[in-house]
Amino acid sequence: MKKIVLLIILGFTVLLLNGQEPEPSTGVKISTDKVKIEGKYYYIHIVRKGETLYSISKAYNVNQIEIAMENPDIYLGLQVDQALKIPIKESQHGILGDDQDENYIYHVVRKKETLFGLSRKYEISIQDIIEANPEVEEGLKISQVVLIPKKRVQTLGSAKPEESERFIYHEVKPKEGFFAISQKYGVSQSVIRRFNADLVKDGIKLGTVLRIPKDPQDTILHAGTLQPYQKPLETGEVAVTEQPTFICDTFVYNRWRDVYNIAFLLPFYQGDPKNQITEGVDESASESRNASTSLSSVTQSTSIFLDFYQGALLAIDSLKKEGLSINLNVYNTGKSPELTRKLLTNPGLQNANLILGPVYPECQKPVSDFALENRIPMVSPLAQNNYLLESNPLFFQANPSFNTQIEGFINKIDFCSGQNIVLLHEGDSTNINLIETFKQQIQLKISSCGNPDNIHFKEFTYKPGGIPTEIQERISHSLVLDRENIVLVPSNNEVFVADLLGNLHTLSTIYKYPIKLFGFPRWQRFANIQVEYYYQLQLHLFSPFFIDYGKRNVKSFVEKYRELYRSEPSQYSFRGYDVAFYFLSAMKKYGVDFQYCLPQLRVDLLQSDYSFERVGSNGGYENRSIYLLYYSKNFDILKLENALDVNDGPIRPSHYINENEKVEAVDFKLK
């Protein structure tokens, strides 16, 4: 098993080198502030000017690597006023085991121990334990340290179940099953199973103490606990989807209680360039990096994922400054499903509250199965067309599939206002599925218009390389002069698009045909097309990404990125920031069950505008947000809500190339 924190190691090495000289006196003021995070005790040290990692480690007598592992973003460099978690060793505080101080007994939770059992052992009420340890109401964790107040109460009686503000604690009696308990408290069996998943996974047993919510409508596990795994359906079995009631404004984040474990799974390749493959990953934003930032051992595909990770680190740093507590674990999956499976035994993944990655579809399947079984939300940050959406209700696809993008694109175009609509393509048999999908989406949109029978939708095909004047005359037969021509071109063939745009430009500028052109996002990367054609033909493209470099948060991100990494951020850097910032913001606002509240989440991102919708009744969530980008005649690229946002003035009719020989193209009439 190979766990890496690649960039942390690079930065951390620099910190080590800077601190090798022994210091006669550290000059570090040792903090006396102790906090408990997930049952572990830490000093919280506020970094002061002049302090180094070496001096801090010496002052607290804690290894530098231990400090770095508890504070992964230390790679970004120590900052004045930064808060560091310094692990407290047993010899330093003597609080582990069942030791005591003046006011509390410190109890270390062991396997299968419950609040009810602790209350009996120490003869104290459950409510008193919860008041001293608010986080334990959501469940105990192995090795967690629980403070037991020395204030004594009467021994619990057996006639009445013990209670807290939220739960009744019921001890299972002989011959008592879920049905009887459900009837006694008026709470469904499924809810009882959900709140006691670890205790009843092998069946209900005599003496087991169950948590029963006082409110039968209280069905959601909050802050740090997840719903139990549901066995996959057998063939022919009917799925029963239980949509829990979730009130989204009730969660209150506590940075000391709600420390989220985040797992990053990325392919940090090193070495042989021939193994560096980006197949299966969306490359619509791929671009060359500044040569000064390339390391000799880092290939182009590796740099893509490093860019993504570096952007994500900046998002994490921003949220930490806003009070979010995170334990970050980063793993190298390569492009190997076998390596990915081995990583799943790591505690950092088994205890994760959110998994970001993997990137490649073949690595995602084992992680998706693992995440579903352990009820961990999983985000696919880059891949498209993921079949796992249909089978994992906790799977999130940040990059919408191409079919989803086409659907969103068509929905942003007005086909109902009398324009002349022309579908123009090269008739390539290898691209027939894409063309048919595009055509069907257009026809579906036209059918929703109030007067679909009066709308003319034409289809025209031709092969590039012919005599321009002949081709222009043939295309003109599909165009009109007295109305706007909506020309849609479903093609990623640069040769065809270059030939077509040259002819359309002539028809628009010389013969005055009013044309608005609609194309695909890959056109932005075409190298052999005159860019002015895009502006003259008022090109509209669709894309899930758009960066407005005038926005304040974009400017701030670019400045920080340049300062930290000495390079320009790529499109993948922006994506990494957006994915991390969005999902971690959701967890901070709504807790680990954030998926029920995403429709209400509003986050100002850099290049994305996520809008997640569930796929089917038992599927995951796909981002369906796209932008409509418009190349204006003023040589601006604008982001539009829809194609109606542009008004370029009245249309002035002119003449056809050959008015007497004008022949209509294939004309579709919807019946």
pLDDT of residue 164: 61
What's 79's domain CATH number?
3.10.350.10
Rounded to whole angstroms, the Cα distance separating 43 from 162 reads 35
The residues, ordered by sequence, that sit 6+ positions from 268 with a Cβ below 8 Å of its Cβ are 4, 6, 302, 305, 306, 309, 332
Domain co-membership, 527 together with 434 = yes
The verdict on residue 182 lying in a domain is yes
Task: Assess if residue 158 is contained within a domain.
Answer: yes
Report the C-alpha gap between 293 and 309 in whole angstroms.
15
User: Confidence class of residue 363 from pLDDT cuts 50, 70 and 90?
Assistant: very high
583 in Cβ contact with 316 (< 8 Å): no
Residue in 520, 572, 298 with CA at minimum distance from that of residue 409: 520
Position with higher pLDDT, 576 vs 2: 576
What is the DSSP track for 346-368? SHHHHT-SEEE---SHHHHHHHH
Compute the distance between CA of residue 629 and CA of residue 413 in angstroms, rounded to an integer. 12
Same domain, 412 and 425: yes
Instruction: Quote the pLDDT of residue 143.
Output: 63
Name residue, tokens 């509240």.
597
Q: At what angle do helices 432-447 and 402-411 cross, to 10 degrees?
A: 30
Task: Please indicate, yes or no, if residue 254 is contained in any of the structural domains.
Answer: no
pLDDT in tens, 429-483: 888 888 988 898 899 898 888 887 788 899 999 899 889 999 999 999 999 999 8
| DSSP strand pairing (420-425 vs 485-488) | parallel
Average pLDDT over residues 628-633: 93
Residues 120 and 187 in one domain: yes
- Do 70 and 128 lie in one domain? The reply is no
List strands edge to edge, sheet with 83-87.
34-37, 40-46, 83-87
Whether 441 and 488 share a structural domain: yes
* Lowest-confidence pick of 104-113, 397-406, 622-631: 104-113
β-strand pairing of 515-518 with 485-488: parallel
Residue 272 maps to a domain: yes
Which residues share a beta bridge with 167? Answer: 213
The verdict on 272 and 151 lying in the same domain is no
In sequence order, which residues have a C-beta less than 8 Å from that of residue 107 and are 6 or more positions away? Answer: 98, 118, 122, 145, 146, 147, 148
Q: Is the pLDDT of residue 64 over 90?
A: no
C-alpha to C-alpha distance for 307 and 571, rounded to whole angstroms: 8
pLDDT at 268 over 70: yes
CATH number at residue 347: 3.40.50.2300
The answer to whether residue 612 is domain-embedded is yes
Note the pLDDT of residue 349: 92
Does residue 433 sit in the same domain as residue 387?
no
Between 374-388, 515-529, 561-575, the lowest mean confidence (pLDDT) is in: 374-388
Residue 464 belongs to a domain with what CATH number?
Answer: 3.40.50
Specify if 286 maps to a domain: no
Tens of pLDDT, residue by residue over 120-135, are 777 787 878 888 887 7
Question: Quick check: is 252 in a domain?
Answer: no
Average per-residue pLDDT in the chain? 77
Report the distance separating Cα 575 and Cα 610, nearest Å: 11
Q: Are residues 515 and 561 part of one domain?
A: no
More confident residue, 234 or 568: 568
Helix-strand-coil split of the chain, %, nearest 5: 35, 15, 45
**Is residue 52 located within the same domain as residue 148?**
no
Contacts 24+ apart (CB under 8 A), 38-41: 38/141, 38/144, 38/259, 39/108, 39/109, 39/141, 39/143, 39/144, 39/145, 39/146, 40/87, 40/145, 41/87, 41/88, 41/93, 41/95, 41/145
pLDDT for 625 beyond 60? yes
Look at 122-131, 229-238, 288-297 and tell me which has the smallest mean pLDDT: 288-297
Residue 406 CA, distance from chain mean position: 21
Check residues 105 and 2 and name the one with the higher pLDDT: 105
Q: Higher model confidence: residue 128 or residue 575? A: 575
User: Above 90 in pLDDT, residue 209?
Assistant: no
Among 87-96, 169-178, 257-266, the range of highest mean pLDDT: 257-266
Is the pLDDT reported for residue 67 higher than 70? yes
Residues 10 and 37 in one domain: yes
* Same domain membership, residue 660 and residue 595: no
Percent of the chain predicted with pLDDT > 90: 37
Number of domains making up the chain: 4
**pLDDT tens digit sequence for 494-542:** 999 999 999 999 999 999 999 999 999 999 999 989 999 999 999 999 9
- Choose one of 54, 74, 93: the last residue of a domain: 93
Q: How many Å apart are CA 81 and CA 47, to the nearest integer?
A: 5
Name which of 8-22, 59-73, 272-286, 304-318 the model is least confident about.
Answer: 8-22
Structure confidence at residue 283 (pLDDT):
42
pLDDT digit string (tens) for 11-56? 433 333 333 333 335 578 887 766 666 667 778 888 888 888 888 8
Q: What percent of the chain has pLDDT over 70?
A: 75
- Same domain assignment for residues 450 and 530: yes
Q: Label residue 221 by pLDDT band (50, 70, 90).
A: low
Domain that holds residue 615: 259-276+293-400+550-623
pLDDT for residue 643 = 61
- pLDDT in the model for residue 629: 93
Element (H, E) at 380: strand 378-380
**Domain presence at residue 525:** yes
CA-angle at 543, arms to 539 and 549, nearest 5°: 90
Domain end point (choices 213, 238, 268): 213
The last residue of one of the domains, among 61, 93, 125, is 93
Amino acid 75: pLDDT: 61
Task: Look up residue 84 and give its two tokens.
Answer: 């560091």
